[in-house]
Structure 1
């Protein structure tokens, strides 16, 4: 953590981009789309300034998006968080539905990985025995 962060000072859009892995363009998009839980403060010159809380929230958003959460669901989740206490059940419903989708994707990928591993084994075995001719050759 930098000295600025430990004193609670704000971060520039470039610093936040570096910490979150989001581009400056993506950060502006997140703000326009209402994906942040609070308003981004501005300097007197109009430059965006972010807090540690903003960065922490953005890191959660990054993981939710990377895991395939639809933008509409992320917007709704951010809206609920902005509203404050009292809607935790709805937040949990959104997160639980997303978790189920992710678990289904993981199961599907595990099935794919199993087929690929089997096929790699078939090819490796045939090549090791010097019998690769005709392996899945539609012209044979």
Structure 2
């Protein structure tokens, strides 16, 4: 890919994604990018739109507590191409089960917190 006016610097990507430049560099060092991020003649990183979309997807996986090792496994499958579609789907389905269980636990915890708030509100308001 050639460097174009549409490519973004690491600071622009950090601002757009809410990540730090350190995290973006880490994702690259950890092998989580689909391919090496392009470099300008100054050797500064230049991210394409596809790179940014991939970083956003990685961020979503991390926000659901997917371990870096599991993310790396997923990335390796993507790099291998369409022959790994089933394996990628299965990996994401397994992760979805974990996320759904975490969500259920959080929902139950929120219900307990709401219950306590309602009790304290009744005591405070004298209702």
TM-score by length of 2: 0.90
* 1-structure distance, mates of 2:84, 2:8: 30
Any stretches of 5+ residues in structure 2 without a counterpart? none
Q: Per residue, is there more helix in 1 or in 2?
A: 2
Aligned to 2:97: 100
Does the C-alpha gap of structure 1 residues 29 and 104 become closer, same or farther in structure 2, counting only changes over 3 Å? same
Task: Work out which of the two has the higher radius of gyration on C-alpha atoms and give 1 or 2.
Answer: 1
Q: How many residues align?
A: 124
Aligned to 2:86: 89
Aligned to 2:108: 111
* Structure 1 position 54, deviation (Å): 0.3
1:10 aligned residue (7, 11, 16): 7
* Structure 1 position 34, deviation (Å): 0.4
* 2-structure distance, mates of 1:8, 1:38: 20
* Structure 1 position 83, deviation (Å): 1.5
* Structure 1 position 8, deviation (Å): 6.7
The reply to whether residue 58 of structure 1 matches residue 55 of structure 2 is yes
* 1-structure distance, mates of 2:116, 2:96: 30
* Structure 1 position 45, deviation (Å): 2.1
1:30 aligned residue (1, 21, 27): 27
1:121 aligned residue (115, 118, 121): 118
* 2-structure distance, mates of 1:76, 1:62: 16
Aligned to 2:122, what secondary structure does the other structure show?
helix
